[in-house]
Amino acid sequence: MSFLLVLSLLPLLTTTAALSTPFPFETIQLSPTSPQVLSFPSIQFASFFSASPPTKNEKCRAFPGTSSWPSEEDWNQFNTSLNGALLRPLPAAAACYPGPEYNSTLCSFMTSGQAGKTHFWVDNPVESLTRWPAGWGCLLRDDNATGVCERGGWPEYVVNVSSVKHVQATVNFARNKGVRLVIKNTGHDFGGRSMGAGSLSVWTHNLKSFQYIPEYTVKSGKNEYSGPAVKVAAGVETYKLFNHMAENNITVVAPGGGTVGPAGGWFSVAGHGALTSKYGLGADQVLEISLVTAGGQFITVGPNSTGSDADLWWALRGGGGSTFGIITSVMFKAHPPISTLSTSLNFGLTNLSITNNTYPFPIIIPPGTGFSSPPSTNFITSPQNFWTAVSYSYQYCNNNIIPLGGYCFSYIYPLNSSSSSFAYTVSHNIPNITSSSYRSLLLPLYTSLQSILDISIPLPEIPVNPTLYAGNGLRTASTNPSNTRYRSRLFPLQNFHNQTLYNQTFSSIRSSVEKGNLTFHGISYSPSLKIAGWPGSNSAVLPAWRETVLHGILMEVIPSGITADEGRKIDAHAQEYIERWKELTPGAGSYMNEGDPMEKNWQWEFFGSNYRRLLGIKRRIDPWGVFWARTTVGTEEWEVLDEKGFPGGQNGRLCRV
């Protein structure tokens, strides 16, 4: 082994004393002298005493059917070291195909939509809420499906993690055997980052531990946080976190989606939610992080970490998930109980004669857009009035609601393929406000909209008593997978303060919907550095976030079964409109979790000026490239050779560029 390689591995041998008491599952660990390691060298730790992984210099990761793929005996021994936690599940849709997995009842449960009303999809070890990156080899269809269910981009094996030991053994096995490793929690993933053909998946979904700490203090130099905190395991979903908030009468900044994992990829790439304007991003709330590194070491990092651990502490907050390690738990700030008021309005445009729509396929409205069928009222026929009203709504939110710590959650989307009908829906959410103040705030908005639209839009009934933010989550989370494709842009404040620039900005958004027949999803908030506080203000969060007042997302649903050429045609169509957004926001960026997985300039768009430092940390912490997911730090050195050539697909071998 070279001297340089020895030096690069030295930081991985250091451990950091836990800043808080580990969860019980975190105390179950693997060590270099564990019997499993001594009897099965494939799960040995990285150190200067061990040789480099045998596949370190090979062009591609090991793949089923190749000589480098672990033998059946290897997999059996690996499973033994995990005490039987190794799974080999097929995609859920296999129940609809002829073969041993066929199950007519289960197939009907999925195809009827009933599965989407339960935890079925989220609790599945391989399924993702965005399915198109896996390919079309096992489409969900009725139980008369013919042919075979092909695994495609779904993982080959899954480890059902219930301890840190499981994570360590899996990381070590993947590194030493040269197997592609992917990380999956709930599968709330829009870019195919939790799947991959021929991969070994670390499934952290069942790590559900939670702890409320009434008094938590951490100091670093002149900085200090002293107050309540919560420790959240990687598998805790948002709806569960809301329930914990209610039980403990606290507030924690959380994602908006009930199936999102707060202690995973959400905060790792910034993380936004309903309280972003009030308390900041998810990354701004973090007080400590426990994880397993690429070398297999379990460490905890925080504001007082030193050396390579200090680099990790900075990088993990905003520098990307599936990149620097596998997170097992996170300590977040907790805040006093907070109440919120929220109401919604919608109106539509119909009966147009527009023929310049260029979208290449019939429109499928993305799920979650407020309503999937036209509202029965509030429709007008004047395009000018409709778009003027929508524009006014965005300006009103920026000027009047964001400054109060609120946010606005909106959609503009086509209702049919002919571009003759559109709808706009928005909710106005404000924390710590009385009903009378809320009414006074919204009354001018509704008065102006009625004047512009020339229809009656009465102010909705406003609850006398605001709802506790924590009470919003007293529910379970359910959802159906889809083939929605996302692209996003962080629009800075200057695009709203300069009227000429704002007119151009809104015109580009209008064009995306009206001519592009795409769905626009806008979230208005302002996670400034001032709001971030400490330690959030010193992190790897994309700097463009701190100037953002509108997070704009462009969405379309990819039709199942299309060819790679058709996929590229759809991509080029949407890219035309995103490029115009970029021209109007030079130097800004995009939120990776809801960004384009095929973004060409992803290093800047997702990480900005932080990228060079992040790449240096990645190469020191993970010299083997154990952790790889599309558009994460360091991924320019590898690519997926998708079997069908589908843009963004994960149905192929991972190879060096």
Domain count, the chain: 1
Confidence of residue 463 (pLDDT cuts 50, 70, 90): confident
**Cα 35 from Cα 183, distance rounded (Å):** 26
Residue with the bigger pLDDT between 375 and 506: it is: 506
Is residue 29 situated within a structural domain?
A: no
* Domain, as residue range, for 478: 339-595
Residue showing tokens 């009385």: 434
Q: Around 35, how many Cα atoms within 13 Å sit in the side-chain half-sphere?
A: 4
Is residue 518 situated within a structural domain?
A: yes
Q: Are 458 and 446 in contact (CB under 8 A)?
A: yes
Is residue 565 situated within a structural domain?
A: yes
User: Who contacts 600 (Cβ-Cβ below 8 Å, separation ≥6)?
Assistant: none
Per-residue DSSP letter, 355: -
Is residue 552 situated within a structural domain?
A: yes
Q: Which helix (H) or strand (E) holds 340?
A: strand 339-349
Largest CA distance in the chain: 78
**Cα 509 from Cα 580, distance rounded (Å):** 9
Residue 447 — φ and ψ, nearest 5°? -60, -45
pLDDT in tens, 156-186: 999 999 999 999 999 999 999 999 999 999 8
Predicted confidence at residue 465, as pLDDT, reads: 79
**Cα 541 from Cα 274, distance rounded (Å):** 18
Predicted confidence at residue 138, as pLDDT, reads: 94
Is residue 395 situated within a structural domain?
A: yes
Predicted confidence at residue 415, as pLDDT, reads: 85
Is residue 438 situated within a structural domain?
A: yes
CATH code assigned at 448: 3.40.462.20
Residue showing tokens 């009222």: 377
Q: Are 449 and 392 in contact (CB under 8 A)?
A: yes
Confidence of residue 10 (pLDDT cuts 50, 70, 90): very low
pLDDT in tens, 125-167: 999 999 999 999 999 987 666 789 999 999 999 999 999 999 9
Predicted confidence at residue 240, as pLDDT, reads: 94
**Cα 213 from Cα 570, distance rounded (Å):** 49
Q: What is the CA radius of gyration of the chain?
A: 25
Q: Are 259 and 477 in contact (CB under 8 A)?
A: yes
The neighbouring-strand residues paired with 484 are 557
* pLDDT above 90: percentage of residues in the chain: 82
Q: What are the strands, taking DSSP E only, across 350-436?
A: 379-380, 407-414, 422-431
Predicted confidence at residue 378, as pLDDT, reads: 87
Predicted confidence at residue 419, as pLDDT, reads: 63
Peptide bond into 262 cis (omega under 30): no
**Cα 481 from Cα 496, distance rounded (Å):** 35
Which tokens in the block code for residue 264? Answer: 């995973």
SS3 415: coil
Neighbours of 353 (CB within 10 A): 7
Is residue 448 situated within a structural domain?
A: yes
Predicted confidence at residue 528, as pLDDT, reads: 97
Q: Are 14 and 308 in contact (CB under 8 A)?
A: yes
Q: Which helix (H) or strand (E) holds 349?
A: strand 339-349
Is residue 9 situated within a structural domain?
A: no
Predicted confidence at residue 476, as pLDDT, reads: 64
pLDDT in tens, 580-597: 999 999 999 999 999 999
pTM above 0.85, yes or no: yes
pLDDT in tens, 316-338: 999 989 999 999 999 999 999 99
Where do runs of H (alpha helix) occur along 537-610? 564-584, 602-607
pLDDT in tens, 424-443: 999 999 999 999 999 999 99
Q: Are 263 and 329 in contact (CB under 8 A)?
A: yes
